[in-house]
């Protein structure tokens, strides 16, 4: 039996606006350590871009 992954609607709602700001701040590709990931939705979304 597989349990559903944690999900946050707030993460879905704000991931694009947050990514827009991060792209402005970080012009070059690199590695970032995220602390307090929670559901991991932001990390997955950001890593894809």
More confident residue, 33 or 17: 17
Q: What is the pLDDT of residues 18-45, one digit of tens each?
A: 999 999 998 888 888 888 878 989 989 9
Residue 17 included in any domain: yes
Concatenating the DSSP letter of every residue in 1-49 gives: -PPPPP--HHHHHHHHHHHHHHHHH--S------SS-TTSHHHHHHHT-
Domain count, the chain: 1
How far apart (Å, rounded) are the C-alpha atoms in residues 22 and 5? 25
Does residue 5 carry a pLDDT above 70? yes
End-to-end Cα, the chain, rounded Å? 32
Which residues form the domain of 20? 11-26+34-47
Residue 18 included in any domain: yes
Residue 5 included in any domain: no
Residue 4 included in any domain: no
Residue 1 included in any domain: no
Closest CA to 32 of 20, 21, 22: 22
Residue 3 included in any domain: no
């Amino acid at each position: 039996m597989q349990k559903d992954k944690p999900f946050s609607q707030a993460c879905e709602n704000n991931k694009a606006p947050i990514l827009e700001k991060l792209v402005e701040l970080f012009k070059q590709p690199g590695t970032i350590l995220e602390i307090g990931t929670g559901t991991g939705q932001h990390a997955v979304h950001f890593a894809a871009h």
